[in-house]
Structure 1
């Protein structure tokens, strides 16, 4: 099999994973309403406890041994957990309560532009495409819903979403997508427990209603376990600028979830915005046929790995158990 075929396959995998991950993240805003009355910090602690247990089990079954972290890696993981997991979800839940999924989706729709501008040397094409995606996200969800408090919470979620990607990039080459997802989720649990005990005391946990249990389970398995792995495996393959374009699918996921849950049918503006989002992604991912990627690379992504490692897109062979 030629190198070009391998790299194209790796890039295609990254595109599919990035789109799926961001769509699933978008569903969080709609599902958040189902757990609005459950103690916030206790619920999120349960969510990440279950997610980390599942991810660590997957790592074990895949033969990925525990790696001793350096001081830098530990600091990055702690910062990632605090911003991208703990504070992000608090912001989303609070913003949803003040402005609904539309406002959160609109603000998070600006993630492509933020990542494109922060991606070292972003090309004009990627920056322009990101602007189109942002415009589509804004049209789809419509600014003006909610209040100033909701907008501030949404802006907090935006900053945390950017940190979720940028803080993970230095960790992924050695730890891989499964370990970064598992370790960051596990680190979030004690943080949330401490905050929950401080704020809510013994009331931080209670038996959830069936709807709350379903919402927490969905957040844990789908939005955390699945989406985290998909995103972290796609991120080094595409780079933050190109991968960030798919954050434009966050409001699309929010709109779709709202429609499924009976929170409102898509309007003409929703559909027009979604079309702009797709157009921006296509523009950003369009690769000139006159510019070929160097051998062994994926258009600027990491080198492709052997087939036996491709199952989880994870760590190099010396990091696995014999």
Structure 2
């Protein structure tokens, strides 16, 4: 992998997850705004910005093919719409700490499933590093307990977070980060609006107050438009397994954001979790990833898939 490209991917993934981690703190400013209507507005505004950039982009036009539209719709339905639905309803049955702990396992799932999708074996040091990152993220989230329904909804949010990355992988080589971000956000907006209409009826949208407008603007431009572009660019440069390590930074950046806004102060668990996440990311990024050609996946009925050992 080109060193400059790898460094750009690392910087992009880290920045994207830091921005996403600020979502929880900023969302407090729009807590009184209809949830699904607010999310629909967030993705609609982001899609408009991204589509405008697509229009100004000088690269050759690439209109999605039927299969790519299907993948984009699945990405929007799971990674954006369903993820938000699960998060909203999970908070009724369990604590944010539990939700954060479950979602913190994203690096492990990406470290295992991501390479298999690319027809290469998972790399043992990356998987072990992902476990360290997940432990640190869970510690920073506060762990916690959950009801059965709350746990299922948290697992649904985890599935949505995983689909947000994995469903984009086959789309990025031809469409690129810009178009994948624009089309997925554009498809998610009407999905969330439909859920909001069922749940809230005519109250799904209203004129926001000043602080709400600022919060929605931040979520639309920073957390969605910029973070999506950075994340999808990093996926193409690092692969889902190595890029996924940075997902553990979400609860850490959430702690930083709450401190910056004067809402809370970090405790020993927050600091210990941040240290584990940092250590896991550093070790995982140093691991040598076995390329597809060097580690083909045996077809069903042959030898079982084993972890490829990388060197730190």
TM-score by length of 1: 0.83
1:204-251 C-alpha deviation (Å, 9 max, x unpaired): 111112222222111111110011000000101111111111111011
What does residue 111 of structure 1 align with?
106
What does residue 212 of structure 1 align with?
212
The answer as to 2:24 corresponding to 1:29 is: yes
The number of aligned residues is: 289
Alignment of 1:145-224 (within 5 A): 149-224=149-224
Q: Does the aligned pair in 2 maintain the 1:113–1:127 contact within 8 Å? A: yes
**CA–CA distance in 1 between the matches of 2:257 and 2:90?**
16
Structure 1 residue 293 displacement after superposition: 8.4
- Secondary structure of the residue that 1:122 maps to in structure 2? coil
**CA–CA distance in 1 between the matches of 2:64 and 2:172?**
13
What does residue 142 of structure 1 align with?
142
Q: Does the aligned pair in 2 maintain the 1:43–1:205 contact within 8 Å? A: yes
Q: Does the aligned pair in 2 maintain the 1:137–1:251 contact within 8 Å? A: yes
Give the counterpart of 1:15 among 5, 10, 15: 10
Structure 1 residue 150 displacement after superposition: 4.3
**CA–CA distance in 2 between the matches of 1:254 and 1:197?**
30
Q: Does the aligned pair in 2 maintain the 1:102–1:255 contact within 8 Å? A: no
1:257-279 C-alpha deviation (Å, 9 max, x unpaired): 22233432110111011000000
- Secondary structure of the residue that 1:264 maps to in structure 2? coil
Q: Which runs of 5+ in 2 are unaligned?
A: 296-312
User: Post-superposition, which runs of at least 4 consecutive aligned residues in structure 1 deviate over 6 A?
Assistant: 291-294
Q: Which runs of 5+ in 1 are unaligned?
A: 295-299, 301-322
The answer as to 2:75 corresponding to 1:75 is: no
What does residue 273 of structure 2 align with?
273
- Secondary structure of the residue that 2:32 maps to in structure 1? coil
Q: Does the aligned pair in 2 maintain the 1:52–1:185 contact within 8 Å? A: yes
**CA–CA distance in 1 between the matches of 2:28 and 2:96?**
9
**CA–CA distance in 2 between the matches of 1:287 and 1:168?**
24
RMSD, aligned CA: 2.4
**CA–CA distance in 1 between the matches of 2:53 and 2:170?**
22
**CA–CA distance in 1 between the matches of 2:205 and 2:91?**
21
Alpha carbons of 1:292 and 1:71: their partners in 2 closer, same or farther (altered >3 Å)?
Answer: closer
- Secondary structure of the residue that 2:107 maps to in structure 1? helix
Q: Does the aligned pair in 2 maintain the 1:32–1:93 contact within 8 Å? A: no
Alpha carbons of 1:210 and 1:131: their partners in 2 closer, same or farther (altered >3 Å)?
Answer: same
